[in-house]
Amino acid sequence: MTSQPTPSDRFTTATATIAELDRRPVRHLIGGALADSDAHFEVINPTTGQPCARAPEATREQLDEAVARAREAQPAWAALRWEDRREALLQLAAVLREHQDELAALITLEQGKPLAAARGEVGRSAMLIEQFVTLRVEPEVLRSNATERIEVHYRPLGVVGAITPWNMPLVLSVPKIAHALLAGNTLVVKPSPYAPLATLRLAELARKLFPPGVLNVLAGGNAFGQWMSEHPGIAKISFTGSIPTGRRVMGSAAGTLKRLTLELGGNDPAIVLPDADIDAIAQRLYDAVFVNCGQVCMAIKRLYVPDALYEKACEALAGIAREARVGDPFDPATQLGPVQNRAQFDIVQAVLEDTRARAGARILTGGKALSGPGYFIEPTVVADIAEGARMVDEEPFGPVLPIIRYTDVDDAVARANAGPHGLGASVWGTDVARACEVASRLHAGTVWVNRHVGADPLAPFGGAKQSGVGRQYGLTGLKGYMEAITMVLPPAA
């Protein structure tokens, strides 16, 4: 029986992984081979603000090559049995599990989440594949009578382009890989230039699992994402990122009328009902706000609390935030790491500046950056703030929580539904039937009662309103990577 790695084993793995980055160059995977580029960019460690690796910057010619190789490989990949594609994907899940500590170290290094959370991200990525492959898309018979038989068949689209952000490098790229490949497509993946290392390393580890050209992963900047979105050889873009970039992707894809799945930003409201038990839910609310330092699309970003519970909720949440251990994400005691990059750090600071300028707003705890290196911001809880402030109207994507007072539940629902976002929303109360009734009035892709954050692999996940187009996860998500073909046939013999 092998023993479980201890925290000190994990620290050793992390140190070795980081040291290895100096010796083993970071490479793209194109057509089954590892490849470099002439130009490179630095990957910054958000804990120190210093470079931690050098990644190759792919050219337009390398994109053309990757697309050409993916197109060549696609018919044979689609012709495999569903079970064979499933088997290859289960091996990808096994690679994630086998290299969990190494991949987690890369995520912590480049993204800044605590090592335990990074291990969780790698484990969840493997679990998502294992769940997705239980799905199977079969032809559907819609009508069968003496004169005709109408069936819907689902076919792969061809080459899919996947573009991902920096907050969850593997948990956001792996579902796109699993959906696209299970459906019989081949793939070109572009991770965020802020955090490309774990995705590129996964591609390197997995390169023998798939025929050459089936999975291609290239590091590139924003222009590279635009080239993908415009590319005539790519049939679909599956994009996760911000709303403004989602609009650009949609514009770039218009010329070739690509299929699109857009998983975009959120500004999730949570409504605490007057019968809620604050002592029982405060920690769970806190966790759903400050998870990954607030850098989760479906984190709580606005908390609506009724007059009678307001001061108690403010004190409970601020109390937890005051105790939070902020620091080096490789230290097992750390609960909150840095904000991932300088640009995001500046955005969060501007939001805090706006908050300080609001008459009446009370910063209960936090409110500023930590001195010293890295992009650290104190966990911040703000009371007596309302719509009109940037912290309430925008998605700050950092460790900040506005607590908004309300008197009337209908008014809270209207305010929660206002604005362009619609990713997630939640309602919290002890009378579950009442909480479910209020939840039924919220406009979001996912609505929770007495919890927030989390997506079941078999349930469709995505945004209402401007938080997205289309869905991932579940059969709905998988079919988004396929074309529905209506077959009008003679009656069945």
* Residues with catalytic function: 263
Q: Is 184 left (phi over 0), alpha (psi -120 to 50) or beta?
A: left
Q: Which residues contact 200 (CB under 8 A, 6 or more apart)?
A: 26, 27, 28, 29, 55, 191, 217, 219
Q: Tell me how far, at minimum, the Cβ of 265 lies from ligand NAD, in Å.
A: 3
Residue with nearest beta carbon to ligand NAD: 225
Taking each continuous run of H as one helix and of E as one strand, the counts in the chain are: 16, 20
Give dist(CA 156, CA 263) in Å, integer: 21
Identify which of residues 191 and 213 has a Cβ nearer to ligand NAD in the complex: 191
Burial profile 391-408: b = 16 or more Cβ within 10 angstroms, e = fewer: bbbbbbbbbbbbbbbbee
Residue at 312: amino acid letter: K
| 261 forms part of the interface with ligand NAD (CB under 6 A) | no
Q: Which of 272, 64, 19, 269 is nearest to 161 (CA)?
A: 64
Q: Is the distance from CB of 167 to CB of 297 less than 8 angstroms? A: yes
Q: Is 213 left (phi over 0), alpha (psi -120 to 50) or beta?
A: left
Identify which of residues 85 and 421 has a Cβ nearer to ligand NAD in the complex: 421
The burial class, CB within 10 Å (0-12 / 13-18 / 19+), for 97 is middle
Identify which of residues 62 and 240 has a Cβ nearer to ligand NAD in the complex: 240
Return the residue of 165, 374, 399, 402 that touches ligand NAD, per CB under 6 A.
Answer: 165
Return the residue of 57, 102, 121, 263 that touches ligand NAD, per CB under 6 A.
Answer: 263
Site map for ligand NAD, 463-492, x if CB under 6 A? x----x------------------------
Site map for ligand NAD, 199-228, x if CB under 6 A? ----------------------xx--xx--
Give dist(CA 102, CA 257) in Å, integer: 40
Burial profile 212-242: b = 16 or more Cβ within 10 angstroms, e = fewer: bbbbbbbbbeeebbbbbbbbebbbbbbbbbe
Q: Is the distance from CB of 107 to CB of 198 less than 8 angstroms? A: yes
Name the residue with tokens 């929580």: 401
Identify which of residues 237 and 385 has a Cβ nearer to ligand NAD in the complex: 237
Q: Is the distance from CB of 163 to CB of 193 less than 8 angstroms? A: no
| 256 forms part of the interface with ligand NAD (CB under 6 A) | no
Q: Tell me how far, at minimum, the Cβ of 174 lies from ligand NAD, in Å.
A: 13
Q: Tell me how far, at minimum, the Cβ of 299 lies from ligand NAD, in Å.
A: 9
Task: Select from 99-107, 248-256, 322-330, 433-441 the region that touches ligand NAD (CB under 6 A).
Answer: 248-256
Q: Which of residues 326-385 bind ligand NAD (CB under 6 A)?
A: none
| 167 forms part of the interface with ligand NAD (CB under 6 A) | yes
| 110 forms part of the interface with ligand NAD (CB under 6 A) | no
Q: Tell me how far, at minimum, the Cβ of 22 lies from ligand NAD, in Å.
A: 25
| 245 forms part of the interface with ligand NAD (CB under 6 A) | yes
Identify which of residues 65 and 395 has a Cβ nearer to ligand NAD in the complex: 395
Residues forming contacts to ligand NAD in the complex (CB under 6 A) are 163-167, 172, 190, 192-193, 221-222, 225-226, 229, 240-242, 245, 248-249, 252, 263-266, 297, 395, 397, 423, 463, 468
